[in-house]
Structure formats: structure tokens, C-alpha cells
Amino acid sequence: MTEMTDTLVSALITASAALLGGLVGALVSYAVATRAHRLERVRLISSWTKSEEVKRARIAAYRELWSCLGGISTHNSRDVIVKSLPEVQHRLQEWYYDRGGGLLLTGSAEDGQSTKATFFAARDLRSTNAYEIWQVFHRLRGSIRRDLGIFESEADERAALDHVKKILGSYER
């Protein structure tokens, strides 16, 4: 009987230890999972905040960039557009480096449709053709609007472009 009691006590101690070990393991797993969930949540909130900060900074920088483009506008005559090109390009260069706007341009210079590529095309353009100058700067303005989500659709943008092209038709000569 003592042998049976010793075996029963030993089995009970083993089962209790296993139960206690399982309970401690479950608590540790729960604590680790909870901590991992909190860290993931913090990372998600942090990335959201950073992208919101970048978005706000981009809007402010693009507003400043937009004001640099004033000399190349349909409100100016052909001669004023040609004459304004060097000054506008100088302002673009200052905006890009001195005011740090280049940090917020989207895309790469190698992607011809990116805002960065259209920026460099405008900044580096050498032309005395008012229509060509306007077209290059129009592409930059279009890239800025796309980055900021200004146009609801490409059709809206195309309609606006067609309207301006009619106005500037005489510049092609």
C-alpha cells in the first residue's frame, strides 16, 4: 500500500508540476503576445503619424513650389513667359536645395512621369519657345496636382488642359 501511495503521490506531484508549468508557460506566452501587440500598435500609429507629417510637409512645400512657377502662366504674354524662364528656374533651384523642397518631391529622376523628373525638366529647360516652355511647366504643375490629389479624375485634368491649349494656340507659331 505504501508503494501505491508513493506512486500516487509521485504522479500527483508530476501532474501538479506539469499543470503549474503549463500555467506559467501560458502566462508568459500571453505577456509576450500582449507586448508584441502593443509594440505593433505603436509602430502602426508611428508610421501613420509620420506619413501624415510628410503629407502636411509636402503640401506646404508644394504650395511654395507653386508660387515659384508664377512667371510661366497663361496670364502672361508670350514674351513675358520667355523672359521669365531664367528667373523662375533660379527660384526652382533655391526651392529645391536652399529650402529643402527637393526632399519631398515624389518619384525618381529616371521615371519621366514622376514629379521629380518633371521638376528637373522644368528647371533645366533651355528654350525660347513660349509654348514649349509652358508645356514643360504644365507637366510639372500636373505632377504637383496629382501628388496632392487635386484633380478628381484624369478626364477633369484633360479638360482643363484642352481649355488652356486653346488659349495658347497662338503660341505654337
C-alpha dist (Å) from residue 69 to 29, 59, 72, 77, 95 = 59, 16, 6, 15, 11
Contact of 148 with 58, CB cutoff 8 Å: yes
Residue type, 171: Y
What string of pLDDT tens digits covers the 173 residues of the chain? 677 777 877 878 888 888 888 888 888 888 887 777 777 766 665 565 568 888 889 999 999 999 999 889 888 888 999 999 999 999 999 999 999 999 889 888 888 789 999 999 999 999 999 999 999 999 999 999 988 888 656 777 777 777 777 767 655 54
Cell of 73: 502662366
pTM score, whole prediction: 0.62
Contact of 94 with 67, CB cutoff 8 Å: no
Q: What does the pLDDT read at residue 117?
A: 96
Tens of pLDDT, residue by residue over 66-116, are 999 988 988 888 899 999 999 999 999 999 999 999 988 988 888 878 999
Contact of 151 with 145, CB cutoff 8 Å: yes
Query: Domain residues of the chain, as ranges?
Result: 54-172
Q: Which residues contact 106 (CB under 8 A, 6 or more apart)?
A: 58, 114, 115, 116, 147
Q: What does the pLDDT read at residue 35?
A: 79
Q: What does the pLDDT read at residue 62?
A: 94
